[in-house]
Amino acid sequence: MTAMAVISVIQIVIIFVFGWLAYVSQALDKKGSIVAIILGILILRFGGVYPFLAMLIFVVMGVLSTKYKYHEKLKTGIAQEQEGVRGWKNVIGNGLATSIFVILEYLTKQDFLWAATFASIATANADTLASELGKVFGKSPKMITNLKPVKPGSNGAISLQGEVFALVGASVIGIIATAVTSFKWQMFLATTVGGFIGCNIDSVVGATLEDKGIVDNNGTNFIATLAGGMAGAIIFLALV
């Protein structure tokens, strides 16, 4: 067995271990863990360690923010369903756009597709932190489409505190993104701003299409991560 083959086997084993940990820690259910393993293999195979690391950090931050004061959220009816355990549809909703972008980057070797890849992850991370922590710390949430006061946890609800958490979540992924290019600040800015834009697109879609039953939350996540990734790519191209 060649050295590259050994490395590939080790990488797959590591992904399976993370998938198992996600299952036993009740971050994902069984089907969610299986789909996460498949997407993890795709992202690591075509994108390498940095997008995989960014996805891993998103999962960890997402689990921690979801579990934070979960019982308090549960009492007020704004907690994530199934005690915060996410399924395969949620994994697809948050990870499919990233997989598409990372494969396109692998085929074309264009840096703007790295920006799209990381901005899509930044969108998912920003949205999760804004949603889960915004429910706890957010004051006077308002509907993104008309700025009228709404109940915490409503589709399309935003707050100043939630927006700050969104920016933090996006910037964490932006820092990782700088490792894949010589255009450091451009990549950081494109990823962070793209993720922040994508997070707010998630709120707009939630307030409109999701609220009308046209798409579910997983569809909203996919649209937002795809749009956030595209925004990141456009911003990167405008800066370099």
**Cα–Cα distance for residue pair 221/228, rounded to 1 Å:** 10
pLDDT tens digit string along 149-195?
998 878 899 999 999 999 999 999 999 999 999 999 999 999 999 99
| pLDDT over 60 (residue 86) | yes
> pLDDT category, 137, cuts 50, 70, 90?
confident
Q: Which amino acid is at 7?
A: I
Say what the pLDDT of residue 57 is.
95
> pLDDT category, 11, cuts 50, 70, 90?
confident
pLDDT tens digit string along 41-71?
999 999 999 999 999 999 999 888 888 877 6
Say what the pLDDT of residue 151 is.
86
Say what the pLDDT of residue 26 is.
80
Say what the pLDDT of residue 99 is.
97
Looking at per-residue pLDDT, the higher value among 71 and 206 belongs to 206
Report CA-CA distances (Å) from 36 to 13, 86, 174, 203, 233.
Answer: 14, 11, 22, 24, 25
| pLDDT over 90 (residue 135) | no
Range name among 81-85, 94-98, 112-116, 160-164 with the lowest pLDDT average: 81-85
> pLDDT category, 78, cuts 50, 70, 90?
low
pLDDT tens digit string along 115-128?
999 999 999 999 99
Alpha helix stretches (DSSP H) within the chain = 3-24, 30-47, 49-67, 70-75, 88-108, 111-137, 160-177, 184-205, 217-239
Looking at residue 80, the DSSP 8-state letter turns out to be P
| Burial annotation 24-55 (CB, 10 A radius, 16+ → b, else e) | eeebbbeebbebbbbbbbbbbbbbeebbbbbb
- Nearest of 227, 93, 116 to residue 180 by alpha carbon: 116
Say what the pLDDT of residue 140 is.
86
Range name among 5-14, 26-35, 117-126, 229-238 with the lowest pLDDT average: 5-14
Q: How far is CA 137 from the centre of its chain?
A: 20
Q: Which two tokens stand for residue 180?
A: 């894949």
**Cα–Cα distance for residue pair 115/123, rounded to 1 Å:** 12
Say what the pLDDT of residue 38 is.
93
- Nearest of 45, 17, 22, 217 to residue 127 by alpha carbon: 217
Range name among 16-30, 78-92, 147-161 with the lowest pLDDT average: 78-92
The overall average pLDDT reported for the chain is 90
> pLDDT category, 231, cuts 50, 70, 90?
very high
Looking at per-residue pLDDT, the higher value among 24 and 111 belongs to 111
Q: Which two tokens stand for residue 35?
A: 């789909």
For the chain, domain boundaries: 50-77+86-239
| pLDDT over 80 (residue 238) | yes
Residue 35 contacts residue 92 (beta carbons within 8 Å): yes
